[in-house]
Amino acid sequence: MRILLAYDSLSGNTREASRLVHGQLAASGHDVAEICVSTIADHPTVLAMQYDLHLLGTWTGGLGRTPAGMKSFVARLSRLPSEFQPKNIALFGTGETQWGMQWFCGALDRLAAYYKTEYPLLKLEQMPSGDSSRRQIAAWVAAVLARRAAASPA
């Protein structure tokens, strides 16, 4: 499958999560375009393509909010011609439980509601490192790919 992997990251945690997701997808033989949403202005051609699956990754701001960079990117996606707009969207991200469990990775809950996606969410505590994070990411990637395979064509 052709997959767009787009992430927003302030201090590197979500960038590392995206790198690990990318590795899992590449190991499964998928064609992945990975972008940081804050630099996508430099790569407009990436958005002028059709993808079988969109993976959006983000950190979470105060009180579970979606960061401005990801909100801008979502708005940008919504303005694309219909054939380039995402139809299968899975969300992942990093956050911190110390901000309160009700806000933990809240941006993912908000984006999931916006997109009405039924793909599973991947919520990671801060920087993914170690075997536990890798297992969590591998299981999420496998679940997303299985669900996408069962869905109708893009």
Query: Which residue of the chain is nearest ligand FMN when measured via CB?
Result: 95
- Minimum CB–partner distance for residue 151 and ligand FMN (Å): 28
User: What's the CA gap between 137 and 73, in Å, rounded?
Assistant: 23
Closer residue to ligand FMN, CB minimum distance, 52 or 96: 96
136 binds ligand FMN (CB under 6 A): no
Q: Report yes or no: 93 and 123 within 8 Å, Cβ to Cβ.
A: yes
Q: Which stretch binds ligand FMN (CB under 6 A): 33-41, 81-89, 104-112, 140-148?
A: 104-112
59 binds ligand FMN (CB under 6 A): yes
Token pair 């911190």: residue: 96
35 binds ligand FMN (CB under 6 A): no
Lay out the sheet containing 31-36: strands in order across: 31-36, 2-7, 53-58, 89-95, 122-125
Phi/psi at 124 (5° precision): -115, 140
86 binds ligand FMN (CB under 6 A): no
Runs of H (alpha helix) within 38-105: 68-78
Note the residues at the interface with ligand FMN (CB under 6 A): 9-15, 59-64, 94-96, 99, 103-106, 126
